[in-house]
């Protein structure tokens, strides 16, 4: 077989492979956390600084993969790491998400019992 046949056949086979979606990984999480921390208001940044342990050195991105690292050790916490929204919707609607889905119902229970959430909302964070 000549090169004229092999190149198009190889390209066809390559393009027909299924596409895979992978998670963000360590770098993706760290980059997003760094961007988020830089965009915090002054009061929110102060609250985050108060919450971070000393070893983080006020660097939120150093802790962004914690949930991924412990999800197999603390299997019950895995659904708290994400919220599945309906296909085609890229927004989070508190009322919609809190009446559907196992992960959200567990998350709702934990949030509703968490005094820090109310404190953060009261501070306007």
| pLDDT, one tens digit for every residue, the chain (125 residues) | 555 666 677 767 666 666 655 567 788 888 988 999 999 999 989 988 988 888 889 999 988 888 778 878 888 777 677 767 778 877 777 777 666 554 445 455 455 444 545 555 555 54
pLDDT at 85: 73
What is the Cα–Cα distance from 60 to 56, expressed in whole angstroms? 7
Closest CA to 37 of 61, 65, 68: 61
Closest CA to 122 of 52, 95, 110, 114: 114
User: Domain map of the chain by residue range?
Assistant: 25-70, 71-125
pLDDT at 37: 93
């Amino acid at each position: 077989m000549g090169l004229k046949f092999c190149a198009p056949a190889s390209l066809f086979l390559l393009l027909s492979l299924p596409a895979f979606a992978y998670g963000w990984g360590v770098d993706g999480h760290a980059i997003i956390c760094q961007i988020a921390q830089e965009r915090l208001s002054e009061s929110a940044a102060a609250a985050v600084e108060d919450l971070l342990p000393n070893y983080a050195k006020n660097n939120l991105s150093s802790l962004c993969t914690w949930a991924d690292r412990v999800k197999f050790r603390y299997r019950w916490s895995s659904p708290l790491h994400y919220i599945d929204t309906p296909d085609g919707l890229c927004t989070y609607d508190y009322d919609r998400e809190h009446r559907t889905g196992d992960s959200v119902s567990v998350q709702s229970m934990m949030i509703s019992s968490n005094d820090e959430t109310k404190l953060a909302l009261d501070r306007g964070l």
